[in-house]
Amino acid sequence: MKRLPLFFPLLVLILGLAAGLAPAAAPPERPGDRMLAAYFAAETARLRDACLAEIRSIDDWRSKRDEYRRQLLEMLGLDPLPERTDLKATITGRVERDDFIVENLHFQSRPGLYVTANLYLPKDQQKPVPAILYVCGHGSVKIDGVSYGNKASYQHHGAWFARNGFACLTIDSLQLGEIESIHHGTYRYKMWWWNNHGYTPAGVEAWNCVRALDYLQSRQEVDGERLGVTGRSGGGAYSWWIAAIDERIKAAAPVAGITDLENHVVDGTVEGHCDCMFFVNTYRWDYPLVAALVAPRALLLENSDTDRIFPLDGVIRTHARVKRIYQLHQAAPQFGLVITPGPHKDTQDLQLPAFRWFNKHLKGSEPLISMAAEKLLTPAELKVFTQLPEDERNTTIHETFTQTTPPAAAPADEAAWRESRQAWRAALQAKVFRGWPEEDPPLDLKQRAAASGRGLALRLFSFTSQEHIPLKLYVVQPQAAAAARPVALRLVGDEEWTTLAGALRWGFPEAIEADLAQLGELPPADEAAFQAHFQGLSQTLVFAAPRGIGPSAWNPDERKQTQIRRRFMLLGQTLDSVRAWDARRAIQAVRAIDGLATGPLEIRGRGVAAGIALYASLFEPPASRLLLEQLPPSHREGPIFLNVRRFLDMPEALAMAAERAPVVVETPAPEAWAYAVQTAERLAWQAPGDAPRVNLVKTQPAQAK
């Protein structure tokens, strides 16, 4: 391609400016952006420093290795391991060349979960040979709207192995196989409920690899004791999963498939990766721990030096941590590192070291590599299906791959309830909110401003939710003195902030505008919103905006919002789970304010914020009442918490809250809360003559936005 002169881009820019076509200016940085960057850096450093820190000897490693592997399986959605059902392996075609054979085949890793594959075999082999599982990266091959699978894109690897005395099973990935499915649930389609289910397509890819090894060991042409795995990019990641969880892999050479949390979270490489690259980080790992689980088996870490989505610095950091584990095994020669020049690309520079690695560790020889890896077949020759199977579950596997709990039945008695409640609470602490701070940091509660007008008084407080997360409380009450007024704490959701800010600006303009000056454009002062919030006020209202809302709002760009939420998952959290922590801290802050420390405290929220407030209330001293408006009847609609649907759903959480305090639920679907109502009635939580412990108020459905 002819190269443009260096001055050409500058000329284009000058002409664009002259024509009024200057690039759009980047949005101004907000206080929330700086807060978030500092938080992500601190949390990432905490997980980095903890990674493998407890391993000081080989005995330490041996005592913990099996539990680490179990945790990884759990985070992939594979604990317990699914049943190894009949593979129903079917060969649908065969292609012959002078020195190798290809069989086109499919098998079912679970009933209806099809894996399309090509098995490359040496021609005229005389005895079982070592085998390579080749897992494909994201290399789409579509012709006239028909997918031939990414196995067609990576065919040159399988052909090379077969021409050099290996069997090689090249399998399609879930998304880019002949049956086109989904890797992009959170990345593109806003399927945040994947986090609720503890689901990641990485788990499907890992399980497909396990069953691929089962298939290889079933073939008489294969020496089932000499199995290796390799792949690049997405295939590099899947190589890590299978090598870490399955010791049948004797040699692995993942290419451009791993880096550390610092690259992903702080440097932002998560934005270049779909969901298949990540486990659900329940146990708050950094990625060197995955690689360490391969030790002491032969492992070659390969990368190029200008790879944007697997940056070199993170690869080097990962290598250094894993090298120490190999040294503890006295197996340093079994762990290699190859860095080649170039970008994120399947180059010959990366291929040759992998070929040598498998010759050495699976065949015990190191011949000169004189043959290039070439694409020798057409996509049509590698196609498995002429017609896609009607019973396939590939396209919906995200709905069923992980086990979710069915709706609970009302407990028979107090003992049954206590058992359920204790199990749910333990699961919430260990598997759902594990990313909360282990200890409460100092609140550092301070009054920042005060104002009065229109018969009301405003006090503005700041408090620390956790390191790098300063938040605000807005306390509004009648100016007239009154002893021990009831207090209502309202957790403000995304949708409510605009009207609240407009109301506060109309009632207390100077204090609020000074407070929010750094946010740029503010909603206009709104008298109607003021009247709706405060007319006839006789109690104290406290408004708490969790991180990312109002004063701590960050970049509003939709794509950036998506990637921010994905970063939280990589840290073993979700945006909603850390907002639940913020709600807990807001409750603590209210109780620390003079005049509000005693007396009844009602907790309120609307929509997803109501769900967040509900869960926060479970971990603080009981409130006097919960008022929950438009509470989502299922976590499918929010809040989004890691793994929560593996243990309970919203009706069970509501029952847990109702045991502690009366609950009013304003809902368009009272029937959705039958479990909580029945539990409260059966266990007689309300005294005779009192209002129902779970009081359901029928409302109209919320308007879709």
SS (H, E, C) 562-597: HHHHHHHHHCCCCHHHHHHHHHHHHHHHHHHCCCCC
pLDDT band at 678 (very low <50, low <70, confident <90, very high): very high
**How far apart are alpha carbons 281 and 573 in whole angstroms?**
8
At 703 the pLDDT is: 62
pLDDT in tens, 584-631: 999 999 999 988 988 899 999 999 999 999 999 999 999 999 999 999
Instruction: Transcribe 1-40 into DSSP letters.
Output: -PPPPTTHHHHHHHHHHHTT-PPPPPPPPPHHHHHHHHHH
Mean per-residue pLDDT over the chain, rounded:
93
For residue 563, what are the CA distances in angstroms to 128, 275, 419, 631?
47, 11, 38, 26
pLDDT band at 705 (very low <50, low <70, confident <90, very high): very low
pLDDT in tens, 513-542: 888 877 767 788 999 999 999 999 999 999
User: In this structure, what are the phi and psi dihedrals at residue 251, rounded to the nearest 5 degrees?
Assistant: -150, 135
* Position with higher pLDDT, 373 vs 483: 373
pLDDT in tens, 460-475: 999 999 999 999 999 9
Q: How many C-beta atoms lie closer than 10 Å to residue 226's C-beta? A: 21
pLDDT band at 453 (very low <50, low <70, confident <90, very high): confident
440: which 2 tokens? 């409460």
At 482 the pLDDT is: 62
Answer yes or no: are the C-beta atoms of 279 and 261 closer than 8 Å: no
In whole angstroms, how large is the CA radius of gyration of the chain?
29
At 600 the pLDDT is: 92
Burial of residue 569 (number of CB atoms within 10 Å: 0-12, 13-18, 19+) = buried
346: which 2 tokens? 């399947």
- What domains, with CATH codes, occur in the chain? 67-400 (3.40.50.1820), 424-698 (3.40.50.1820)
Least confident of 452-456, 562-566, 620-624: 452-456
Q: Which of 596, 606, 613 is nearest to 474 (CA)?
A: 596
At 31 the pLDDT is: 87
Beta strand 625-629 with 601-606 is parallel
**How far apart are alpha carbons 464 and 442 in whole angstroms?**
7
Q: Which of 221, 229, 216, 227 is nearest to 129 (CA)?
A: 221
Q: At a CB cut-off of 8 Å and minimum separation 6, what does 699 contact? A: 629, 630, 666, 667, 668
**How far apart are alpha carbons 434 and 553 in whole angstroms?**
25
185: which 2 tokens? 């649930």
Rounded to 5°, the CA angle 7-309-76 comes to: 165
At 21 the pLDDT is: 41
Mean local confidence (pLDDT), 266-275? 96
Q: Which of 263, 210, 265, 214 is nearest to 72 (CA)?
A: 210
Least confident of 10-14, 175-179, 273-277, 435-439: 10-14
For residue 176, which amino acid is it?
A: L
CA 654, 658, 664, 669 dihedral sign is: positive
**How far apart are alpha carbons 189 and 485 in whole angstroms?**
46
At 518 the pLDDT is: 72
For residue 41, what are the CA distances in angstroms to 33, 44, 46, 584?
12, 5, 9, 23
Please list the helix, strand and coil fractions of the chain in percent, rounded to the nearest 5, in that order. Answer: 40, 20, 40
At 216 the pLDDT is: 98
pLDDT in tens, 9-52: 333 333 333 333 444 455 567 889 999 999 999 999 999 999 99
Answer whether residue 688 shows pLDDT above 70. yes
User: HSE on the CB side for 552, CA within 13 Å?
Assistant: 25
